């Protein structure tokens, strides 16, 4: 034989995992080889004689094959024939099975294997797949040896086969189980080297299997803080007298250095120093547990710091938990006692108790007054569920005594204010004046009620009414009733500003913006900042300016003429008009978005002819307070008030004021400066004869100016002081009309 085998070699193989039964079988084969070798040396023929070895060759359960150097089967025993599914060895030889021991290898690799056998004399521990007579596959464990007879240079091969198909199936099943166990599993050698690892292990740590198996040590994956513990367990597990836990937790590191928490189960492989380890990644579970513990700690601190009382009770009213605040309030920990006794010093459940409803799944909030200390408490009672069943009641209680007392005071104050409001409303009904606004008619009482509400609001207001009804007085009253009362109130007569100047008047300009702009000038919006901007006759504003005003009002800001600085004023708009703005929208003279931005809080002022019962009050106000004639009663002849009450007053309160001033100054009662006109006539312009008689004795120039003044005043009053309409009736330019109004002093009329 070319190689000696002894029990030391067998022991070494045993340490590599081979079973004792396999070693015994192989020993028989080697004994057979020794017998056959002795026989060959004695006879010089291959199978000459029938000694003990030949009997063993024939009777062995292990397949034995003798192959020539050309690869032809020379002999095989019955066991080998049976392994391949044949009845006798002779049939195998007759049919020349041509068994290729290096199957699945290309010719070049096959030659390398043959050369290896020729060089070393053996090729052992080969596991190969073969085909039986019926074509089915089986696995065999093969050992090949080179045989060189002593008296010959020739050689041949001897192969020994053991059918390991069943073992291979078991191994495959075990491998499948190893790979699909659901947990990361690996085998650790005595020196901590990982000899085998499944896919779950490599997926967890991010290393390819080729880099792990037989190369890396288990200690390389452990977190440094847990390394000593793991090594201690590893050593103790291999010492008979020491004890190590079969299950424990530690931290591991992935290939990217990510820290993971793992739960490990370890067991030793019998008759070896190897251990098999399986583990589960419990990082998310651990993080959840730590977060839960952290939340519980926070909750405990919140419960202790909560400025109120918390307790938990069972269905029989037994307290199971009280927070520190409640313990301090009661003076002791009432756990185990009944809540009605501990909290309220009652001998039976509280009359207001809602436990029955809470244990039916309701959450109930209520306010109760404790008979123990007479204080008010807000109680929120919630059910605590377990397996869809209410097992406890959680109650959160807050002392609301201060709030209840404040509410009681507020209720008392509310009742008092309601009484005062009723009295105020009664007084308002008989009120005949609001600031400088005079009148006690129902329509004026409505206006008086609206002014405080509009003053309390921040919204835009638009005052509708004929010319002379006192729209500016209402706007001023709204400003005085608002939080802006100490800020500027800027009045803008929109119809009196020339069109080419209107933008610079509203937005101001910077020095050098145009010819004559030798200094910066603030516009109306800048002057009204923080205050109120009153836009009188807002219907006369052009479309171009409406767009810019709308942007400024809505917070977009504006820039002065000739400047690039964006200014965002804080203004409140109160507008006034005697025109029908919806009609102007249809005609395209007013933008709808501009109108709706202003028309938030509309107020309508009645004409004087609609509230003639206020004329005596107005007469007394103008004569006594405005014109300082306290004895005006003596100046009024009998029947004069009736005549004033009978007139239709197209110029409204302003016309009444002018008529009274002329009467008190000149001692004559006339309308529009025309003495002798009967005030009972509805249209004073219908008496041209009287007008002619009045001016006939004057020089022509003075008479013409007097006539022009009276005519302009009459037209203005007939149009309710609408200057654009008056200019159209007179067929003169609007600017010409403005100049004549200023010339004759009619703008203050």
Q: Nearest 5°: CA angle at 112, between 110 and 115?
A: 110
Mean of pLDDT values over 331-355:
89
Burial of 323 (0-12, 13-18, 19+ CB in 10 A): buried
Q: How far apart, in whole angstroms, are the C-alpha atoms of residue 647 and residue 45?
A: 162
What pLDDT was estimated at residue 45?
Answer: 37
Q: How far apart, in whole angstroms, are the C-alpha atoms of residue 530 and residue 527?
A: 9
Reported as a pLDDT band with limits 50, 70 and 90, residue 721 is: confident
Instruction: Please indicate, yes or no, whether the overall pTM of this predicted structure exceeds 0.85.
Output: no
Burial of 747 (0-12, 13-18, 19+ CB in 10 A): middle
Instruction: State the Cα torsion 671-672-676-680 to the nearest 10°.
Output: -30
Per-residue model confidence as pLDDT tens digits over 192-211? 998 888 888 888 888 888 88
Question: What DSSP state is assigned to residue 558?
Answer: B
The region of weakest confidence among 226-235, 486-495, 641-650 is 641-650
Instruction: Give one DSSP letter per residue of 397-452, joined into a string.
Output: EEE-HHHHHHHHHHHHHHHHHHHHHHHHHHHHHT--EETTEE--SHHHHHHHHHHH
pLDDT > 80? residue 42:
no
Mean predicted lDDT score pLDDT of the chain = 79
What pLDDT was estimated at residue 337?
Answer: 92
Per-residue model confidence as pLDDT tens digits over 564-618? 888 888 999 999 999 889 999 999 999 999 899 988 999 999 999 899 888 888 8
Q: Roughly what angle, to the nearest 10 degrees, separates helices 700-718 and 734-743?
A: 120
Q: How far apart, in whole angstroms, are the C-alpha atoms of residue 476 and residue 462?
A: 13
pLDDT > 80? residue 296:
no
Task: Give residues with Cβ within 8 angstroms of 220, minimum separation 6.
Answer: none
Q: What are phi and psi of 204, to 5 degrees?
A: -65, -45
What pLDDT was estimated at residue 705?
Answer: 81
pLDDT > 60? residue 41:
no
* Buried residues in 459-475 as b, exposed as e (16+ CB within 10 A): ebbbbbbbbbbbbbbbb
Task: Give residues with Cβ within 8 angstroms of 571, minimum separation 6.
Answer: 525, 528, 529, 530, 531, 532, 533, 553
Q: What is the largest CA-CA distance in the chain?
A: 182
Residue with tokens 């290896």: 116
Instruction: State the Cα torsion 622-628-633-634 to the nearest 10°.
Output: -140
Same fold, 7-170 and 181-287: yes
Pick 37 or 223 by higher pLDDT. 223
Reported as a pLDDT band with limits 50, 70 and 90, residue 555 is: confident
What pLDDT was estimated at residue 576?
Answer: 93
What pLDDT was estimated at residue 714?
Answer: 81
The region of weakest confidence among 286-290, 329-333, 556-560, 717-721 is 717-721
Mean of pLDDT values over 550-571:
86
Task: Give residues with Cβ within 8 angstroms of 429, minimum separation 6.
Answer: 445
The closest of 254, 247, 172, 244 to 207, measured between CA atoms, is 254
Check if CATH label 1.10.10.60 holds for domain 698-749: yes
The listed range with the strongest mean pLDDT (168-182, 284-298, 567-581) is 567-581
The alpha-carbon radius of gyration of the chain (Å, integer) is 58
Reported as a pLDDT band with limits 50, 70 and 90, residue 9 is: very low
Question: Quick one: fold of 7-170?
Answer: Beta-Lactamase (3.30.450)
Residue with tokens 């004021």: 657
* Buried residues in 577-598 as b, exposed as e (16+ CB within 10 A): bbbebeebeeeebbbeebbebb
Tell which CATH classification among 3.90.226.10, 3.90.25.10, 3.30.70.790, 3.40.50.300 matches the domain 433-604.
Answer: 3.40.50.300
DSSP H helices in 70-132: 78-83, 89-95, 107-120
What token pair was written down for 565?
């600085």
Residue with tokens 């009944």: 338
DSSP H helices in 508-561: 524-527, 543-553
Q: How far apart, in whole angstroms, are the C-alpha atoms of residue 381 and residue 359?
A: 10
Q: How far apart, in whole angstroms, are the C-alpha atoms of residue 13 and residue 487?
A: 107
Task: Give residues with Cβ within 8 angstroms of 89, minimum separation 6.
Answer: 75, 76, 77, 78, 80, 81
Instruction: Give one DSSP letter per residue of 188-241, joined into a string.
Output: E-TTSBEEEE-HHHHHHHT--HHHHTTT-BGGGGB-HHHHHHHHHHHHHHTSTT
What token pair was written down for 312?
């938990």
The closest of 165, 92, 156 to 128, measured between CA atoms, is 165
Could you give the percent of the chain with pLDDT greater than 90? 11
Task: Give residues with Cβ within 8 angstroms of 352, minimum separation 6.
Answer: 366, 368
Q: What are the structural domain ranges in the chain?
A: 7-170, 181-287, 433-604, 698-749
The percent of the chain in helix, strand and coil, each rounded to the nearest 5, is 45, 20, 35
Could you give the percent of the chain with pLDDT greater than 70? 81
Reported as a pLDDT band with limits 50, 70 and 90, residue 295 is: confident
What pLDDT was estimated at residue 479?
Answer: 92
Give the bridge partners for 143, in sequence order: 160
What pLDDT was estimated at residue 680?
Answer: 39
Per-residue model confidence as pLDDT tens digits over 12-31? 333 333 433 444 454 455 54
Residue pair 437/467 in contact (Cβ under 8 Å)? The answer is: no
- The strand ranges marked E within 591-712 are 601-604, 670-671, 674-675
Q: How far apart, in whole angstroms, are the C-alpha atoms of residue 658 and residue 319?
A: 86
The region of weakest confidence among 95-99, 220-224, 362-366, 711-715 is 95-99
Q: How far apart, in whole angstroms, are the C-alpha atoms of residue 6 and residue 23?
A: 11
What token pair was written down for 69?
């150097």
End-to-end, the C-alpha distance of the chain in Å comes to 146
* Class for the domain spanning 181-287: alpha beta
β pairing state of 259-268 and 247-253: antiparallel
């Amino acid at each position: 034989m070319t190689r000696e085998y002894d029990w030391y070699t067998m022991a070494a193989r045993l340490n590599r995992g081979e079973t004792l039964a396999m070693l015994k079988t192989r020993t028989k084969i080697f004994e057979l080889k020794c017998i056959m070798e002795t026989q060959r040396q004695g006879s010089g023929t291959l199978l000459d004689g029938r000694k003990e070895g030949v009997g063993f060759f024939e009777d062995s359960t292990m397949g034995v094959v003798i192959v020539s150097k050309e690869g032809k089967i020379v002999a095989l025993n019955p066991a080998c024939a049976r392994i391949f599914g044949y009845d006798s060895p002779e049939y195998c030889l007759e049919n020349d099975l041509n068994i290729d021991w290096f199957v699945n290898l290309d010719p070049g690799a096959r030659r390398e294997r043959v050369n290896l056998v020729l060089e070393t004399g053996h090729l052992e521990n080969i596991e190969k797949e073969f085909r039986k007579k019926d074509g089915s596959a089986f696995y065999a464990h093969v050992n090949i040896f080179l045989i060189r007879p002593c008296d010959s240079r020739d050689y041949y091969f001897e192969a020994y086969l053991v059918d390991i198909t069943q073992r291979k199936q078991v191994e495959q099943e075990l491998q499948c189980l190893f790979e699909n166990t659901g947990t990361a599993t690996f085998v650790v050698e005595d020196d901590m080297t990982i000899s085998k690892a499944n896919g779950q292990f490599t997926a967890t740590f991010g290393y390819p299997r080729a880099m792990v198996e037989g190369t890396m040590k288990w200690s390389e994956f452990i977190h440094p803080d847990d390394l000593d513990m793991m090594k201690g367990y590893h050593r103790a597990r291999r010492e008979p007298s020491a004890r190590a836990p079969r299950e424990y937790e530690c931290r591991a590191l992935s290939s990217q250095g990510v820290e993971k928490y793992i739960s490990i189960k370890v067991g030793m492989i019998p008759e070896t120093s190897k251990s098999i380890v399986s583990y589960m990644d419990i990082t998310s579970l651990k993080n959840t547990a730590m977060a839960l513990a952290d939340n519980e700690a926070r909750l405990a601190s919140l419960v202790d710091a909560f400025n109120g009382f918390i307790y938990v009770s069972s269905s029989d009213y037994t307290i199971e938990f009280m927070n520190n605040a409640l313990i301090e309030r009661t003076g002791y920990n009432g756990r185990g006692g009944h809540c009605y006794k501990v909290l309220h010093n009652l001998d039976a459940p509280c009359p207001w108790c809602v436990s029955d409803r809470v244990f039916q799944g309701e959450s109930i909030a209520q306010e109760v007054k404790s008979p123990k200390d007479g204080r008010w408490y807000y109680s929120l009672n919630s059910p605590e569920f377990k397996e869809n069943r209410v097992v406890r009641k959680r109650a959160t209680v807050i002392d609301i005594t201060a709030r209840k007392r404040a509410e009681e005071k507020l209720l008392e104050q509310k009742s008092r204010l309601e009484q005062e409001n009723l009295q105020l409303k009664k007084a308002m009904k008989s009120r005949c004046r609001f600031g400088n606004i005079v009148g006690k008619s129902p329509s004026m009482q409505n206006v008086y009620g609206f002014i405080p509400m509009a003053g309390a609001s921040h919204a835009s207001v638009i005052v509708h009414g004929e010319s002379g009804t006192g729209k500016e007085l209402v706007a001023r009253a709204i400003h005085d009733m608002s939080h802006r009362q100490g800020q500027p109130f800027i009045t803008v007569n929109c119809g009196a500003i020339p069109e080419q100047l209107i933008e610079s008047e509203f937005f101001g300009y910077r020095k050098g913006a145009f010819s004559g702009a030798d200094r910066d000038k603030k516009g109306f919006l800048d002057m009204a900042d923080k205050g109120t901007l009153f836009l009188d006759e807002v219907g006369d504003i052009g479309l171009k300016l409406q767009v810019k005003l709308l942007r400024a009002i809505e917070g977009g800001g504006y820039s002065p003429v000739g400047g690039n600085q964006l200014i965002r004023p804080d203004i409140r708009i109160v507008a006034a008009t005697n025109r029908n703005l919806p009609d102007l929208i249809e005609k395209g003279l007013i933008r709808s978005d501009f109108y709706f931005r202003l028309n938030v809080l509309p107020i309508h002022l009645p004409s004087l002819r609609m509230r003639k019962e206020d004329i005596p009050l107005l007469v007394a106000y103008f004569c006594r307070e405005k014109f300082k004639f306290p004895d005006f009663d003596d100046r009024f002849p009998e029947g004069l008030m009736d005549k004033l009450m009978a007139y239709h007053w197209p110029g409204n309160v302003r016309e009444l004021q002018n008529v009274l001033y002329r009467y008190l100054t000149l001692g004559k009662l006339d309308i529009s400066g025309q003495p002798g006109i009967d005030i009972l006539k509805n249209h004073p312009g219908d008496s041209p004869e009287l007008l002619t008689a009045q001016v006939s004795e004057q020089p022509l120039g003075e008479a013409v100016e007097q006539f022009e003044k009276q005519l302009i005043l009459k037209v203005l009053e007939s149009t309710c002081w609408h200057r654009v309409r008056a200019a159209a009736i007179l067929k003169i330019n609007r600017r010409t009309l403005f100049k004549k109004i200023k010339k004759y002093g009619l703008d203050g009329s």
